[in-house]
Chain A
Amino acid sequence: MINKTIRQSAWLFVVPVVLLVAFNALIPLMTVVNYAFQETFGDNVFFWEGLTWFEQVLNSDRFHDAFLRQIMFTSIILLIEVPLGIAIALSMPRKGPWVSVCLVLMALPLLIPWNVVGAMWNIFALPDIGLLGYSLNSMGIDYNFTQQPISAWATMILMDVWHWTSLVVLLAYAGLTAIPEAYYQAARIDGASKWAVFKWIQLPKMKRVLTIAILLRFMDSFMIYTELIVLTGGGPGNSTTLLSIDLVKLALGQFDLGPAAAMSLIYFFIVLLICWVFYTLMMKNEKQ
């Protein structure tokens, strides 16, 4: 017994969104999908290949290595940036004239264009003329990020920490300032230690913003390209070739469009999957 009148005209209201999403996401994505399942030799001549490229990418050592490097990089910077960001936010003043000074200083690295960040750190770290590289070497530390994988990794991580810890700081600081003063008073009356205040009041109250901070840092670090291509270009050798750099080498360096398209899709779904798992876990935690 359905008495509803169904008006077909209602669909018209959805059309703008459909068009927007189509042009914005679906159509560009479909061209990649197109390449991922076919072989082409130019002139718009395509041969159906099925899942060949996917199998090839997923079975290649090259992809495995890049993926492992990527996981390692993201894990390291998350492990450094999140605790460091919280620590800095905790030590920032809550009121007074220094608040704005601190906030501006914190926001500065976020305002610099990404390729400039890469160029800055490249020059800064150069072993012969860069301030960092030259100082380290004159202190007797053998450092050359253009030749030693370990030096390259250290520089890459240092650069990312410098560039992005601020984001965690700003989010954590926003979470901290939202805690009413009365909580701290109540904790003092209970005789809570600084650690207890952090563990039982500040951390639980910061949970939401930290979830967002971790999620953002995960996604951005998993897709890092610009700063890195300027800093190391993936070298020395392949030691800092993370997923995005590997993908560009494959697509534009070797012009293997099929495998590159397949890899793009795999890459995309990995990011999507991890974010989804992460978010669901966090939200489930929240509900309990």
Chain B
Amino acid sequence: MCIYAASITRFLALSVELRNVDKVVDGMVHIHPVNLLLQDREFNVLLGATLSGKTTLLRLMAGLEKPSSGEVLFSGKNVTGVSVQKRNIAMVYQEFINYPNFSVFDNIASPLRVAGKKPDQIKQEVGEIAELLRLSEFLDRDIASLSGGQQQRIALARALVKRASLVLLDEPLANLDYKLREQLREELPRLFVASGSTVVYATSEPEEALMLGGHIAMLHEGKVVQYGKTTDIYRRPGNLESARIFSHPPINVTTIVKSSGVIAIPGVTEWQCPEVFRDRPDGEYLLGIRPHHLSLTSPERDARLVTISGTVQLAEISGSVSLVHMRINGNDWISESGGIHPHSIGESIKVYMHLDGCLYFDRDGTAIY
């Protein structure tokens, strides 16, 4: 009975909670006190720029590093002092980490061997995972003879086969080529969530975070600035930092002035103050507008728009999207539009700003809804 119960908990996913966890190394604050609760069986994304503390946070969850203060809880149990190997976690890195002189089969089988499983069982489980990640034909091969993408799939297979309660993925697709990245991005959440693990996936790419879905924690300079459902946060970032992190190309931010029911970008344009904003006192606020809400073409008729004019500073065409950097009343703005729109530098240009895409913030960066 007891053994049965133990084996159940082994495969049970965990909720992960960080309670006032911080990390200070030699007087340098790597992580400011963080409170974060990741639900079990969720796919969680950590999004932030390089050096924002993603890897440190993952290492703190894994137990590879000890927090300077605060507690790490797995399913409500304090595991702050518990060693890494007792936490039943798996981790996949940006570099392709495998045992260098094991075959593919032995690499995938290694966590099962450590767990002391029987050879038949190991063979079956490795076979299933290899099938899932399309590695079946390589099982007898040597690691060194495989491509980077294949090596990373083996590392992912090792994490999957372990059926760890918590799987930590540290930019696992960053070193892969474009096509493989697209494909794995789609498959990864499905594979890991289906395996019953709680997943934390660190990335620095906003687009990747959006595609992965699930929940997201926004990191900025060692602080978690917001946590919530990915789509919610994308649509309604709680603060300017979240909006900045979650926008590529970078979000345009400018000062606006509210006075008696009218909002103005001084010297550029003005429009009617939206409902939510009406009760606020008059004065200066901040406006954030994502580049794709500044379009070069006039959109459908009933969209609420204002037009803004400026001069072109740089026009890039990337794929089927045109990016125009322009100068409007002394500020630099970026607009993104579908289709190919060649423009020459110095040209006067008119863009349509979607008022529904406007994000309003206090002077201190808190969003107003």
Is B345 close to A, CB under 8 A? no
Write out the residue numbers on chain A whose beta carbons fall within 8 Å of the beta carbon of B114.
190-191
Which residues of B, 275-316, contact A by the 8 Å Cβ criterion?
Answer: none
> Chain A: which residue is nearest B59 at the CB level?
A185
Asked whether A189 and B89 contact (CB < 8 A) given A204-B100, A204-B101, A205-B100, the answer is yes
Chain B contact residues, majority secondary structure: mixed
- Produce 1/0 per residue, A156-200, CB < 8 A to B: 000000000000000000000000101101101111000000001
Write out the residue numbers on chain B whose beta carbons fall within 8 Å of the beta carbon of A229.
none
> Chain A: which residue is nearest B94 at the CB level?
A182
Contact B110 A201 (CB under 8 A): no
- Give the shortest distance, in Å, between B280 (CB) and chain A (any CB): 49
Contact B99 A201 (CB under 8 A): yes
Is B85 close to A, CB under 8 A? yes
Asked whether A201 and B100 contact (CB < 8 A) given A188-B84, A190-B111, the answer is yes
Is B90 close to A, CB under 8 A? yes
Is A288 close to B, CB under 8 A? yes
Which residues of B, 88-121, contact A by the 8 Å Cβ criterion?
Answer: 89-91, 93-95, 97, 99-102, 110-111, 114
Contact B100 A189 (CB under 8 A): no
Is B142 close to A, CB under 8 A? yes
Give the complex CA separation of A186 and B95 in angstroms: 11
Contact A186 B97 (CB under 8 A): yes
Contact A185 B100 (CB under 8 A): no
Is B353 close to A, CB under 8 A? no
Residue of B64, B101, B110, B111 near A185 (CB, 8 A) is B64
Is B202 close to A, CB under 8 A? no
**Category for how many chain A residues contact B:** 10 to 19
Give the complex CA separation of A183 and B175 in angstroms: 16
Write out the residue numbers on chain B whose beta carbons fall within 8 Å of the beta carbon of A200.
99-102
Give the complex CA separation of A107 and B64 in angstroms: 34
Write out the residue numbers on chain A whose beta carbons fall within 8 Å of the beta carbon of B111.
190
Is B62 close to A, CB under 8 A? yes
Residue of B59, B85, B95, B100 near A190 (CB, 8 A) is B85
> Chain B: which residue is nearest A285 at the CB level?
B101
Contact B89 A186 (CB under 8 A): no
> Chain A: which residue is nearest B86 at the CB level?
A191
Which residues of A, 256-288, contact B by the 8 Å Cβ criterion?
Answer: 288
Write out the residue numbers on chain A whose beta carbons fall within 8 Å of the beta carbon of B91.
185-186, 189
- Give the shortest distance, in Å, between B104 (CB) and chain A (any CB): 14
Write out the residue numbers on chain B whose beta carbons fall within 8 Å of the beta carbon of A288.
142
- Give the shortest distance, in Å, between B174 (CB) and chain A (any CB): 13
Write out the residue numbers on chain A whose beta carbons fall within 8 Å of the beta carbon of B102.
200
Give the complex CA separation of A38 and B18 in angstroms: 87
> Chain A: which residue is nearest B101 at the CB level?
A204
> Chain B: which residue is nearest A182 at the CB level?
B93
- Produce 1/0 per residue, B206-243, CB < 8 A to A: 00000000000000000000000000000000000000
Contact B99 A188 (CB under 8 A): no
- Give the shortest distance, in Å, between A204 (CB) and chain B (any CB): 4
Contact A191 B85 (CB under 8 A): yes
Contact B101 A182 (CB under 8 A): no
- Give the shortest distance, in Å, between B228 (CB) and chain A (any CB): 29
Give the complex CA separation of A201 and B99 in angstroms: 6
Give the complex CA separation of A182 and B170 in angstroms: 10
Give the complex CA separation of A164 and B114 in angstroms: 40
Write out the residue numbers on chain B whose beta carbons fall within 8 Å of the beta carbon of A191.
84-85, 114
- Give the shortest distance, in Å, between B333 (CB) and chain A (any CB): 40
Residue of B64, B93, B101, B110 near A188 (CB, 8 A) is B64
> Chain B: which residue is nearest A200 at the CB level?
B99
Q: Which of A180, A185, A200, A204 has the most CB of B within 10 A?
A: A185
Write out the residue numbers on chain B whose beta carbons fall within 8 Å of the beta carbon of A180.
95, 97
Which residues of A, 119-168, contact B by the 8 Å Cβ criterion?
Answer: none
Give the complex CA separation of A188 and B89 in angstroms: 11
Contact B85 A189 (CB under 8 A): yes
Give the complex CA separation of A52 and B102 in angstroms: 53
Give the complex CA separation of A186 and B99 in angstroms: 10
- Give the shortest distance, in Å, between B64 (CB) and chain A (any CB): 5
Give the complex CA separation of A188 and B91 in angstroms: 11
Q: A200-B102, A201-B99 are in contact. List 10 more A-B contacts (CB 8 A).
A: A188-B64, A189-B62, A189-B64, A189-B89, A190-B111, A191-B84, A191-B85, A191-B114, A200-B100, A205-B100
Q: Which 10 A-B pairs have the closest CB atoms?
A: A191-B85, A204-B100, A204-B101, A182-B93, A186-B97, A188-B84, A182-B97, A180-B95, A182-B95, A200-B99
Interface residues of A (CB under 8 A from B): 180, 182-183, 185-186, 188-191, 200-201, 204-205, 288
Interface residues of B (CB under 8 A from A): 59, 62, 64, 84-85, 89-91, 93-95, 97, 99-102, 110-111, 114, 142
30 intermolecular pairs with C-beta atoms under 8 Å apart = A180-B97, A182-B93, A182-B94, A182-B97, A183-B97, A185-B62, A185-B64, A185-B93, A186-B91, A186-B93, A186-B97, A189-B62, A189-B84, A189-B89, A189-B90, A189-B91, A190-B85, A190-B110, A190-B114, A191-B84, A191-B114, A200-B99, A200-B100, A200-B101, A200-B102, A201-B99, A201-B100, A204-B99, A204-B100, A288-B142
